[in-house]
Homo-oligomer: A and B are copies of this chain.
Amino acid sequence: MTARNAFYAQSGGVTAVINASACGVIETARKYPDKIKNVLAGRNGIVGALTEELIDTGKESREDIAALRYTPGGAFGSCRYKLADPEKDRKEFERLLDVFRAHDIGYFFYNGGGDSADTCYKISRFSTLMGYPIQAIHVPKTIDNDLPLTDCCPGFGSVAKYIAVSTVEASFDVRSMCRTSTKIFVLEVMGRHAGWIAAAGGLAENYGIPVVILFPEVEFNEKKFLAQVENKVRRHGYCTVVVSEGCKYPDGTFLADQGARDAFGHAHLGGAAPVVANMICEELGYPFHWAVANYLQRSARHIASAIDVEQAYEVGAAAVNLALQGKNSVMPTIVRLSSEPYRYEIGVADLENVANVEKMMPKSFIRDDGYGITEECRKYLQPLVQGENYPPYKMGLPEYVTLQNTMVSKKLPPFDKKI
């Protein structure tokens, strides 16, 4: 077997640890120069493959590649770009194969969530069909934790840790203030379809903090919700609300989309947090503060979970090993062996069974009243936030790396579709 190049790309919303997976891919590939000549990274994800914007990772120093392990964001750029279905329009897939052929790419590593798994699967099938077989391995990543066949998704543990720690800290704050001032703190978290991230706020109950969680899985009921909040304020003097951005009214309207308009009639102003906070103030009269974590939560490498960083690295390394074992159209998975103490191993799943399947949070993870997590959920979450893995600091700020990102010379005419 002659050595060939590998292609690696980051896809969709980035995480605090997606670069740890990149680090796992590149460091492992570098161990087998007889099989993998070089890892070419797509600039801005799959878009880079279409536009033939390929980054020569061989030009990056060993130190800089190692620093990816503790650098948030997507070091090569990511994208939100859905390829056309090759059964309807082959143009993009043919272009991908042209680029792969021109750069002698024999391995395709795609680091993303559900949509990317589907793309990876299609690339595997299409390339086989076209007689240019390429080993396509999907590297799982998503803060949404919604990929099937894996116990958890790299990226999720770190968001969960950030949300759990932030909920605890802000609750300690409001607990101090509640006698004469703020009694309600509302934190809005990501998760449009599933409440995995919101559930992490429930870990604050370990400290005796009164938390009310609004899951996207539970239809919002203003009366019941306010009763929960009022009850907690009466008992504890304060209450913390963790609201998922995906929380909806029974008619399917998002809380965040309550027709909010500014003075000029512009829409989009809201988040779910201010809507909920104002509702509590109007109905119960409690003074409030609210926060919207947004990107802060998924980029917070400074408080990443050590287990998450480790798993992100390992799925990257495993992807290369699977490729070298001749596997195709698969995804390394995380298999939980035990929760207490936490033990796991890396498994493998066929992409055919991964693509387009969304793993929802089990009903048994949500408390019967709909406003908190169960013990089963706590047992699931607790190991995923375990361990701290701090980046190095210099002058008080983290030493995150920005790569050189040297481009490989183009060999093809420009792609004739504007992206």
Stretch at the interface among A99-107, A120-128, A164-172: A164-172
With A165-B397, A385-B396, A396-B382 in contact, is A295–B291 under 8 Å at CB?
Answer: yes
Across-interface contacts of A271 in B (CB, < 8 A): 274, 292
Q: Which of A287-305 contact B (CB under 8 A)?
A: 289-296, 298-303, 305
* A325 interface residue per 8 A CB criterion: no
Q: How far is the CA of A339 from the CA of B261 in the complex (A)?
A: 47
Q: Which of A179, A271, A419 has the most CB of B within 10 A?
A: A179
* A73 interface residue per 8 A CB criterion: yes
Stretch at the interface among A144-152, A202-210, A327-335, A352-360: A202-210
Across-interface contacts of A169 in B (CB, < 8 A): 16, 72-73, 295-296, 299-302, 398, 400
Q: Which of A189-222 contact B (CB under 8 A)?
A: 203, 206-208
Please determine whether B47 and A179 come into contact, CB atoms closer than 8 angstroms: yes
Q: How far is the CA of A79 from the CA of B90 in the complex (A)?
A: 66
* A38 interface residue per 8 A CB criterion: no
Across-interface contacts of A412 in B (CB, < 8 A): none
* A136 interface residue per 8 A CB criterion: no
Please determine whether B71 and A172 come into contact, CB atoms closer than 8 angstroms: yes
From B71, B74, B166, A300 is in contact (CB under 8 Å) with B166
Across-interface contacts of A185 in B (CB, < 8 A): 295
Across-interface contacts of A262 in B (CB, < 8 A): 258-260, 270, 275, 278
* A362 interface residue per 8 A CB criterion: no
* A88 interface residue per 8 A CB criterion: no
From B78, B161, B296, B384, A170 is in contact (CB under 8 Å) with B296
With A296-B291, A386-B395 in contact, is A278–B268 under 8 Å at CB?
Answer: yes
Across-interface contacts of A296 in B (CB, < 8 A): 166, 169-170, 187, 291, 293, 296
Q: What string of 1s and 0s marks CB contacts (under 8 Å) between A249-269 and chain B?
A: 000000000111111101011
* A387 interface residue per 8 A CB criterion: yes
Q: What string of 1s and 0s marks CB contacts (under 8 Å) between A387-409 and chain B?
A: 11010010111101010000000
Across-interface contacts of A13 in B (CB, < 8 A): 177
Please determine whether B259 and A203 come into contact, CB atoms closer than 8 angstroms: no
Q: Which of A79, A260, A294, A303 has the most CB of B within 10 A?
A: A294
Please determine whether B44 and A172 come into contact, CB atoms closer than 8 angstroms: no
CB distance from A225 to the nearest CB of B (A): 16
A–B complex contacts, Cβ < 8 Å, 20 sampled: A14-B173, A45-B180, A72-B172, A74-B173, A77-B175, A79-B177, A80-B181, A165-B398, A168-B400, A169-B296, A169-B299, A187-B296, A258-B263, A259-B262, A260-B260, A296-B296, A305-B396, A382-B396, A385-B397, A386-B396
Contacts A169-B400, A266-B282, A290-B294 given; 11 further ones with Cβ under 8 A? A72-B169, A78-B177, A81-B180, A172-B400, A208-B402, A260-B262, A269-B270, A289-B295, A291-B295, A385-B395, A385-B397
Chain A residues proximal to chain B, CB less than 8 Å: 10, 13-14, 16, 43-45, 47, 71-75, 77-81, 161, 164-166, 168-170, 172-181, 185, 187, 203, 206-208, 258-264, 266, 268-271, 273-275, 278, 281-282, 289-296, 298-303, 305, 307, 382-388, 390, 393, 395-398, 400, 402, 419
Nearest 7 CB-CB pairings of A with B? A73-B172, A74-B176, A259-B263, A385-B396, A44-B179, A291-B294, A169-B299
